[in-house]
């Protein structure tokens, strides 16, 4: 019995990654658990479950992992007592937004503050609507899929960055990742691969329809759009965007409201971790196709900027899944590659 189980796990294909976004649904699968070689990648219209059923014909197996759209994800930082239980945490969250009352909640302790009797913990709370996630799972299963796991862009994007772009010493680097969907964007700050801050803003991009043309894979595979010469832990106030297309310093077209939100994200992080200034900003999602806009954001924030493209690392992906819109989907493939049935 044990041998049969081992053989089943060894030869079964990796699960299919199914990422839901406001601009469409992306499906991707790797050929094996060990090699970064793409089996197939398909994009269908949002809500087109009939298209998903047809798309499954190009993949191996029916096992899949699902990433919910950012619009269905609740994110909140709260500061609570060290001994706060789940009920107390949910009560505090519900005071902020009533939707937390019916959400499945995951908590990450970002940092403990204060001492002795004044000690508190700052929590990064992530919640998903149980009814909405169940609806998506049921629709996928009706299309012939078997859902193994459900995740959110917060985790999948960090995993993509961790696996695709990690270098020796990266645990010392603090990165801001901005996943730019059409209707909302997720802002994440990670120490190495550990997310310590997240925030969702309604929009960080105008709709971008042009096709992304990936650059030839070179080292590093992060595509630079700006750089800075200041010290390792200093804010990059004098950064000038360059690289990629020698993008000029131009912040026109970037709404002051969006920039204000991003600057508040930096201040929140810096207040918690004064010794770990953000070193770079990485743009993912369809909105990251607008490199002028990304460069403008990086310039105003004073950070070294990059546009992520997983096709620089996954063999065969440039023709099927090239460009920053596929970063989160690729992260799901890498995260669950060794967890096939």
Longest dimension (CA), the chain: 65
**Lowest model confidence (mean pLDDT) among 208-217, 300-309, 330-339:** 208-217
pLDDT in tens, 248-279: 445 555 677 888 899 999 999 999 999 999 98
**Lowest model confidence (mean pLDDT) among 70-74, 184-188, 207-211, 238-242:** 238-242
pLDDT at residue 157, rounded to an integer: 65
Whole-number average pLDDT of the chain: 78
Most confident among 68-77, 226-235, 331-340 (mean pLDDT): 68-77
Task: Give the residue-averaged pLDDT of 299-306.
Answer: 88
Q: Is it the case that residue 178 has pLDDT exceeding 80?
A: yes
Q: Is it the case that residue 223 has pLDDT exceeding 70?
A: no
Of 329, 279, 337, 332, the closest CA to residue 25 belongs to: 329
Provide the pLDDT confidence category of residue 19 given band limits of 50, 70 and 90. Answer: very high
pLDDT at residue 237, rounded to an integer: 37
% of the chain exceeding 70 in pLDDT: 75
Q: Is it the case that residue 215 has pLDDT exceeding 50?
A: no
Residue 317's SS3 state is: helix
pLDDT at residue 89, rounded to an integer: 94
pLDDT in tens, 23-50: 789 999 998 877 778 899 999 998 888 8
Of 157, 202, 133, the closest CA to residue 326 belongs to: 157
Contacts of 112 (CB under 8 A, 6+ apart): 82, 119, 120, 121, 122
Residue in the block written with tokens 């803003």: 201
Task: Give the residue-averaged pLDDT of 63-92.
Answer: 91
- Per DSSP, what are the bridge partners of residue 199? 187
CA distance 162 to 275: 22
Question: H or E stretch including 215?
Answer: none
pLDDT in tens, 144-153: 899 998 888 8
């Amino acid at each position: 019995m044990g041998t049969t189980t081992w053989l089943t796990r060894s030869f079964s294909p990796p699960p299919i990654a199914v990422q839901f976004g406001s601009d469409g649904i992306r499906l991707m699968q790797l050929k094996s658990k060990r090699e970064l070689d793409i089996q197939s990648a398909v994009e269908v219209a949002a809500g087109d479950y009939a298209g998903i059923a047809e798309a499954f014909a190009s993949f191996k197996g029916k096992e899949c992992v699902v990433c919910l759209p950012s619009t269905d994800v609740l994110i909140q930082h709260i500061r609570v007592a060290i001994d706060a239980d789940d009920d107390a945490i949910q009560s505090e969250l519900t005071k902020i937004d009533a939707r937390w009352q019916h959400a499945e909640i995951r908590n990450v302790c970002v940092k403990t503050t204060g001492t002795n009797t004044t000690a508190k913990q700052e929590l990064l709370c992530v919640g998903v609507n149980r009814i909405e996630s169940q609806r998506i799972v049921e629709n996928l299963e009706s299309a012939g899929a078997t859902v193994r796991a459900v995740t959110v862009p917060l985790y999948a994007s960090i995993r993509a960055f961790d696996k695709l772009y990690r270098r020796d010493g990266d645990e010392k680097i603090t990165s801001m990742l901005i996943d730019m969907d059409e209707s909302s964007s997720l802002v994440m700050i990670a120490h190495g691969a550990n997310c310590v801050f997240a925030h969702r803003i309604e929009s960080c991009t105008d709709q971008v329809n042009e096709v992304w043309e990936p650059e030839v894979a070179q080292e590093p595979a992060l595509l630079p759009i700006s750089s800075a010469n200041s010290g390792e832990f200093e804010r990059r106030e004098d950064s000038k965007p360059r690289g990629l297309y020698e993008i000029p310093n131009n912040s026109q077209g970037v709404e002051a409201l969006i920039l204000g939100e991003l600057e508040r994200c930096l201040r929140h992080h810096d207040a918690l971790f004064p010794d770990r200034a953000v070193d770079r900003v990485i743009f993912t999602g369809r909105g990251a196709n607008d490199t002028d806009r990304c460069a403008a954001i990086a310039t105003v924030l004073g950070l070294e900027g990059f546009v992520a493209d997983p096709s620089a690392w996954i063999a065969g992906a440039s023709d099927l899944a090239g460009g920053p819109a596929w970063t989160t989907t690729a992260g799901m493939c890498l995260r669950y590659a060794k967890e096939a049935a």
